[in-house]
């Protein structure tokens, strides 16, 4: 049975994922599924860098504004709801395009970790954490089969499948093409700093204050861009210090995102500063989908 095709756009914060996702959706008749753990929350628009109202009007978006700020959201929830969205989009004759930077969520969808329910997913995550704490020697010693070009990622994947089974029903019935965006580090960090300044101009502080005063202990309040302002509201630091902390934590998060995508997922990366970007990424998507671009209006 031929698998259904899904495009995925990943990369660090502020690299330009939203823009490429919209371009792809417009060229190939797609709809976007947000792959971000914070964009699900209603009322948190600026700090989560949601697509603007104009962007959401141009292309249909899914999994944005689907939770109140006092509700929890997990990788299990994401995979369940993203799968539903994928089916709805395909049924409508459109191309599903997942756009986001939450590596755990996207990898969980790609590898089918949701099957078996929340408890099964948590067991998988516990096993992975324990395996990744091992040294290379200890990890590789647990692999009982000959695996070409054995590395940590392949070893962990083998042991996960060995522990939880390899039946066909554990893999999603989709074929994914993952387009990763990257940039030279200094340029990426400059983009992050600039975006935080823009968020401040747009009202980030008011969103953070809303959480601090009404929902200081919820999951949403622990996101980068919000938690850093809590010491400022408590009189423990200056606003300048809080903003610099947001920038620093955002830069560190971007580095972690890139590490995740490079080490754990099969991603084709595109430098957003290269002369042939985004044309090469769009061409890759076209070849994967085996379809023509829509004519420009």
**SS3 at position 143:** coil
Residue 16, annotated as binding a ligand: yes
Residue 12, annotated as binding a ligand: yes
Place of tokens 């630091």: 237
Residue 92, annotated as binding a ligand: no
Residue 13, annotated as binding a ligand: yes
CA–CA–CA angle 52, 248, 255 (5° rounding)? 80
Query: Distance between CA 297 and CA 279 in Å, rounded?
Result: 18
**SS3 at position 150:** coil
Residue 11, annotated as binding a ligand: yes
Place of tokens 């600039």: 194
Q: How far is CA 165 from CA 64, 116, 134, in A?
A: 33, 11, 22
3-state secondary structure the chain: CCCEEEEEEECCCCCCHHHHHHHHHHHHCEEEEECCCCCCECCCCCCCCCCCHHHHHHCCEECCCCECCCCCCCHHHHHHHHHHHHHHHHHCCCEEEEECCCHHHHHHHHHCCCCCHHHHHHHHHHHHHHHHCCCHHHHHHCCCCCCCCCCHHHHHHHHHHHHHCCCHHHCCCEEEEEEEEECCHHHHHHHHHHHHHHHHHHCHHHHHHHHHHHCCCCHHHHCCCCHHHHHHHCCCCCHHHHHHHHHHHHHHHHHHHHHHHHHHCCCEEEECCCCCCCHHHHHHHHHHHCCCCCCCC
Residue 49, annotated as binding a ligand: no
Binding residues for substrate: 13-18
Binding residues for ATP: 11-18
Binding residues: 11-18
């Amino acid at each position: 049975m031929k698998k259904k095709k899904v495009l995925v756009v990943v990369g660090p914060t502020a690299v330009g994922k939203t823009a490429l996702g919209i371009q792809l959706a417009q060229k190939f008749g797609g709809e976007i599924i947000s792959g971000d753990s914070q964009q699900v929350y209603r009322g948190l628009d600026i700090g989560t860098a949601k697509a603007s109202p104009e962007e959401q009007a141009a292309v249909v978006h899914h999994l944005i504004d689907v939770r109140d700020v006092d509700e929890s959201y997990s990788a299990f929830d994401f995979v369940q709801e993203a799968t539903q969205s994928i089916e709805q989009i395909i049924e409508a004759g459109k191309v599903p395009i997942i756009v986001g930077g939450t590596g755990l969520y996207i990898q969980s969808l790609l590898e089918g970790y949701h099957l078996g329910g929340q408890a099964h997913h948590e067991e998988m995550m516990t096993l992975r954490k324990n395996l990744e704490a091992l040294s290379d020697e200890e990890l590789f010693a647990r692999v009982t089969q000959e695996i070409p070009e054995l590395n940590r990622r392949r070893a962990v994947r083998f042991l996960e499948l060995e522990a939880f089974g390899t039946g066909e029903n554990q893999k999603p019935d989709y074929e994914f093409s993952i387009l990763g965006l990257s940039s030279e580090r200094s340029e990426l960090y400059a983009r992050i700093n600039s975006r935080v300044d823009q968020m401040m101009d747009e009202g980030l502080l008011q969103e953070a204050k809303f959480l601090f005063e009404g929902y200081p202990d919820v999951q949403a309040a622990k996101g980068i861009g919000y938690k850093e302002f809590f010491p400022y509201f408590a009189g423990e630091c200056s606003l300048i210090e809080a903003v610099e902390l947001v920038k620093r934590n955002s830069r560190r998060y971007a580095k972690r995102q890139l590490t995740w995508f490079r080490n754990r997922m099969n991603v084709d990366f595109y430098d957003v500063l290269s002369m042939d970007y985004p044309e090469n990424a769009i061409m890759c998507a076209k070849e994967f989908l085996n379809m023509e671009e829509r004519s420009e209006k």
